[in-house]
Amino acid sequence: MATGTDDSEDVDDFWPKLGGRVVRWLLLTLLLWFGAVAYLVYVAQGHARNGEAALRSVGDLVEAEDLATIDLAAAEINLRQGQEELGAARSAIDSPIVRAMGFVPVVGRQLSSARALIHTSHDVAGLLLPIVESANEARNDPNALDRVAFLQTTSEQLGALEANLAAADLGPTENLIGPLLDGRAELEEQLGDLATQTADYRIITSGLALFLDGSNYLVLGANNAEMRIATGMYLSVGSLTVADGEFDLPDLTPSQDLFPVEGVDVIDKDVADRWGFLSPSNDFRKLGYSARFDAFAGPQAVAMWEATTGETMDGAIALDPFVLDALLDVLGPVEVEGEIFDSGRALSYLLQDQYAEFESEERDERRDRLSVLAAAVVAKIGSSAWDPIELISALRPLAKGRHILVYSSDPAQQAAWSKLGVDGSMNGDETGVFLLNLGGSKLDPFVGVSVAATSIIDGAGRVVTFEVTINNRAPEFGLPDYTVGPWESLELPVAGSYSGRLAVYAPGVATEASFDTGESFVAFGPDGPLLLGASESFIVGPGQEKRLRYSYRIPLALEQLTVVPSARFPATSWTWNDRSFNDIVIYEMPLNEGG
């Protein structure tokens, strides 16, 4: 009996003891599990932080103003290391041990958020890496670069990245702990910026690939020594053929030799209404009477060329001596008739020196040589090795200064030109002051233009006033006849006299625009989204100056004006409030109380 009683007591005591062991074992297991989860999350967090630096470096890359200064090799190394770090973080956070914690309230939400952020970052880094790799390869070996294939491949890679960014899942947004919530918000902002840049670059690369793969563009040679509205006068014209990344530009033709162009209407109603009395569709030299290259000068030039030659064009490119000079800086010098032209020399030659080298009766010879110089530069683009990123960096400030303008009838190519900022389109918040050369001279490099601008609040609006000073620094004697221009036929008082008119752009919402100094309008009214006012002609003698004042009223809701570059040399000098600047590039001027 005693033995049975002891056995019964042992049996009765077994289950509590076993339960206690199980509980302790479960607690220990849970502690080990939580510890493993905590460790893996800690590891994932460390790797994720290391990988974050890679995406930041790429963010800096796409935002850089000067692409030529970017160290693509270092960016590639950082991005590859970052992808490896993010991959390690992904493996840790995807561990079954960690995933099993997903059922735990609150904790599971935090893990889900961290997993989504790491997955997205890792995927983006993986798609960015081949883009940076190919760009670095192109820079290191431009001789082996197939430019069309490079752009097509890059466009496809950017398209894949764009699709990934559009579908990115950053996980839950509610009930997140502070660090995760902040990290999610930061990554969302970074990916939004990257998505915008990616879409822009995809449009650019796909459009440029089409342009280089096979296109015919009309080239308009602008001369900054004889100015129009935000461009030099188009004194030469020719047909550019592009095929498989190679360029062919035969001799340019003087615009004068194609005058008059018959049977072409003015395609833009505003230009017809403002400048119809000049018949701007019969002469390439009259295409600078509107700054809207995309709506007027580009398509109008194509229509005029096709009417004259029967040759169908895909678009038009306007460029001036600053562009040729920048190209020589990247490509290296060219030789024309035994003379070497490099960066700097070409600019001074095209703007001034050429006019002293030839007598006025040798005009055709000078034009032929100018044509050969342009053709030599274009030929070198196709025949020599050059870094496409360096070339874009060299042309970017010139694009902002309206020294290169491009139009295409093909929507994909036109979208690329628009994203590159070279389409010459205008917005409704822009303003600008432009001196137009009417004397057939090349005196603009000797004529300074300065603008003292003010804006004051007046009732329910703001009055903007431009005090414009035109200073003719040309000497009365000593300049070449060709620079002075055909002043005898214009019956100007003395050689070196500048015959011109002033044109002013105001925002399209402007009212009460007028020349306060008494000049009458020769042209006034809408020019696309802007309001144009242009004066009658006037003459400024050598060593003299002329002052004009122009004002207009705008609503107080318009808090900023964008100053359109004049493309002049020297650039127009501005003072506005307490700021001084030259209109070399687009300048954004905020308006405020009292200014």
Total residues found in the chain within this entry: 595
What pLDDT sits at residue 22?
A: 46
Give the three-state DSSP class for 388: helix
Q: Which candidate, 417, 402, 425, 419, places its Cα nearest to that of 296?
A: 425
Q: What is the largest CA-CA distance in the chain?
A: 145
Sorted by sequence, the CB contacts under 8 Å of residue 48 that are 6+ apart come out as 85, 86, 89, 114, 117, 118, 121
Those residues whose C-beta lies under 8 Å from the C-beta of residue 39, and which sit 6 or more positions away, are none
SS (H, E, C) 322-334: HHHHHHHHHHCCE
pLDDT of residue 83: 82
181 phi/psi in degrees, rounded to 5 = -65, -40
Q: What pLDDT does 232 receive?
A: 96
Q: Which domains does the chain have, with CATH numbers?
A: 16-211 (no CATH), 213-420 (3.40.630), 430-590 (no CATH)
Which 3-state string (H, E, C) describes 86-131?
HHHHHHHHCCHHHHHHHHCCCHHHHHHHHHHHHHHHHHHHHHHHHH
Phi, psi (deg, nearest 5) at residue 497: -70, 140
Structure confidence at residue 492 (pLDDT): 81
82 close to 55: Cβ distance less than 8 angstroms: yes
Which sign, positive or negative, has the C-alpha torsion 84, 87, 92, 96?
negative
CA 174/CA 281 separation, integer angstroms: 63
Q: What are phi and psi of 404, to 5 degrees?
A: -135, 130
What's the burial of 595, exposed, middle or buried (CB within 10 Å: 0-12/13-18/19+)?
A: middle
Of 399, 396, 444, 466, residue with least CA distance to 570: 444
Query: C-alpha angle 382/202/430, rounded to 5°?
Result: 90
| Structure tokens given for 233 | 């006068």
Burial of 118 (0-12, 13-18, 19+ CB in 10 A): buried
| Number of separate helices (H) and strands (E) present in the chain | 16, 21
Instruction: Give the pLDDT score at 30.
Output: 43
Q: How many CA atoms lie within 13 A of 341 on its CB side?
A: 26
Q: Any idea what the Cα angle at residue 300 is, between residues 294 and 302, rounded to 5°?
A: 95
Return the closest-CA partner of residue 298 out of 432, 223, 409: 409
Burial grade of 215 (CB within 10 A; 0-12, 13-18, 19 or more): middle
Provide the 3-class DSSP secondary structure of residue 582.
Answer: strand
Write out the two tokens for 277. 């009395």
Q: What is the pLDDT along the chain (595 residues), one digit of tens a residue?
A: 445 555 555 555 654 545 455 454 444 444 443 444 454 454 446 555 656 666 666 555 555 555 566 777 877 888 888 888 888 878 877 888 777 776 777 777 877 888 888 888 889 889 988 988 888 888 788 777 888 999 999 999 999 999 999 999 988 888 877 877 887 888 888 889 889 989 999 999 999 999 999 999 999 999 999 999 999 999 999 999 999 888 888 878 999 999 999 999 999 999 999 999 999 999 999 999 999 999 999 999 999 999 999 999 999 999 999 999 999 988 889 988 888 998 888 888 888 888 877 666 666 666 656 677 888 888 888 777 777 777 777 888 899 999 999 999 999 999 999 999 999 999 999 999 999 999 989 999 999 999 999 999 999 899 999 999 999 999 878 888 888 876 666 778 888 899 999 999 999 999 999 999 999 999 999 999 999 999 999 999 999 999 999 999 999 999 999 999 999 999 999 999 889 999 988 888 988 644 4
